[in-house]
Amino acid sequence: MAKIPINVEFFTRLAIHGPRFDQHLVYEGDENTQLLDVDVLPDLKTYRDLIVTIAKALHLKRTKKSRVRPHFESEFQLNLFKTRPGSAAPELVRTYRSPQKGRPHQLRLVQEQDDFDNARDLLEYAVQHLHDYNTLPEEFPREALEKLASFGSGLGDADVIELAPYKKERNKRAPYDKLLRERVKSLAERREYVRVNEVGDFHGAQFSPKRELKVSTIALGTVKVPFTSMTEPLIADLVRDRRFTRIRVDGMAYVSARNGVEEFNGFPLLTIEPDLDPALIKAMDARLKELAELEAGWLDGEGLPLSKPGLNWLRGILLGAMAHNSLPMPMLTPMEEGGVSASWHRRPWYVTADFNLSSKGAYLHAANVVEKDIREMELPFVPEEDSALARLAAFVKECMPDQEGAPA
């Protein structure tokens, strides 16, 4: 079997005490080798999953996004390193290896504390806070409560897991025992009547048998929100503009850690909040309105009229690219065969995307007038619009890497 070179970095030490572990079982061949009861091994996996859950919540709160980047979880590799003699105290380390063959293996810099390190510290603080004050701190993410309630399932009545303080200036360990776990389980099951005031991404709506839309939020996950018939025009705008707008939900609801928002009391207030400067949206709408008004023969007796449904589709594509892919606003020009050419210019590059409003595709063309460099791409938007949108943005930004948000 091939050996895989890795680097390791200390992450934490979980000191486990109790009658089962106080026997100090030591391997005869090496007095420094402490044996660990396999009953606690599932708790090590739960600890790892708990850190990932907290880290995701911290990342989303910090970045103000609704989802983590791809492969976020796989960035956190946690391994059992060793146990210390005199107690069952498994040391957990993070391992790092290069994903590309031949690349040097390097440790992170010490000052580069990431979301997983912050999750470890927050968990330690939360357990100590729960032990001292019988409640969890406000900053502990609600979505991690259920996972915390699962931690310690292998503990006996007299067993304790102590979370070693990562910061050396702290001597106090955070103890977690069966009684504390029962307290966490009761918190996870508790149902509260609170005000919900969250901004999230639109994830669909239904109009029968009851009116309800799905909103993905950072703090509460996916929330089902009831709405009235009077709100249907707003929902229609939300469906149309979902690529560059989010929705704020404000109302009283019954909330639990286990189920999130269980039920709203009445109908919450719904407000659309665009991710773009309203002036850019207004400018785009004004130009698309001009294109929609072109009649047959607009080009010296030639020229097809532009499809209004096609222009609405193009509006969502371009504003979505501007909002989430940082593309500048393009110049829009009608095409004789009924399409629209979007263009961006930053010397020495001229970039165009010729959109076919019927087939929902685009022909991309970029020309460097100084180096005579020509790039081309056929880009269908059906059936994978999101990936096509990302490829469009990458094509344009590769030629204009420092353009962001300003009209071309």
Whole-angstrom distance, CA of residue 355 vs CA of residue 284: 16
pLDDT tens per residue across span 177-204: 888 999 898 888 888 899 999 888 888 8
Question: Region 344-364: what's the mean pLDDT?
Answer: 94
H helices within 302-404, ranges in order?
Answer: 308-324, 385-399
DSSP reduced 3-state for 121: helix
DSSP 304: P
CB 142 within 8 A of CB 219: yes
Whole-angstrom distance, CA of residue 284 vs CA of residue 329: 8
Q: What's the farthest any 2 CA atoms get from each other in the chain?
A: 97
Which helix (H) or strand (E) segment holds residue 161: the answer is strand 160-163
Please tell me the predicted confidence (pLDDT) of residue 208: 82
CB 339 within 8 A of CB 355: yes
pLDDT tens per residue across span 224-255: 999 999 998 999 888 889 888 989 999 999 98
Distance in angstroms between the alpha carbons of the first and the last residue of the chain: 56
Please tell me the predicted confidence (pLDDT) of residue 336: 94
Domain ranges of the chain: 7-189, 191-274, 278-399
Q: What letter represents residue 251's amino acid?
A: G
Whole-angstrom distance, CA of residue 327 vs CA of residue 397: 7
**Residue 86 pLDDT grade (very low, low, confident, very high; cuts 50, 70, 90):** very low
Q: What is the CATH number of domain 191-274?
A: 2.40.50
Please tell me the predicted confidence (pLDDT) of residue 266: 93
DSSP reduced 3-state for 138: coil
Nearest to 344 by CA among 326, 323, 360, 361: 326
Read off the tokens for 347.
């010397």
Q: What letter represents residue 242's amino acid?
A: R
Please tell me the predicted confidence (pLDDT) of residue 169: 52
**Residue 60 pLDDT grade (very low, low, confident, very high; cuts 50, 70, 90):** confident
Please tell me the predicted confidence (pLDDT) of residue 23: 53
Average pLDDT, the chain: 83
Please tell me the predicted confidence (pLDDT) of residue 263: 92
pLDDT tens per residue across span 1-55: 444 456 778 888 887 777 666 554 444 444 544 555 555 678 888 999 999 999 9
Q: What letter represents residue 17's amino acid?
A: H
| Residues contacting residue 79 through CB under 8 Å, at least 6 positions apart | 8, 92, 93, 94, 95
| Residues contacting residue 265 through CB under 8 Å, at least 6 positions apart | 193, 251, 252, 253, 254
Task: Count the Cβ atoms, other than its own, within 10 Å of residue 349.
Answer: 20
Report the share of the chain in percent with pLDDT over 90: 38
Read off the tokens for 202.
């639109």
- Tell me the pTM: 0.62
DSSP lists the bridge partners of residue 379 as 362
Evaluate if residue 102 carries a pLDDT over 50: no
Which helix (H) or strand (E) segment holds residue 199: the answer is strand 191-206
Evaluate if residue 103 carries a pLDDT over 60: no
DSSP reduced 3-state for 114: coil
pLDDT tens per residue across span 276-331: 899 999 999 999 999 999 999 999 899 999 999 999 999 999 999 998 888 899 99
Which helix (H) or strand (E) segment holds residue 362: the answer is strand 361-368
Whole-angstrom distance, CA of residue 191 vs CA of residue 189: 6
Question: Region 163-189: what's the mean pLDDT?
Answer: 77
DSSP reduced 3-state for 325: coil
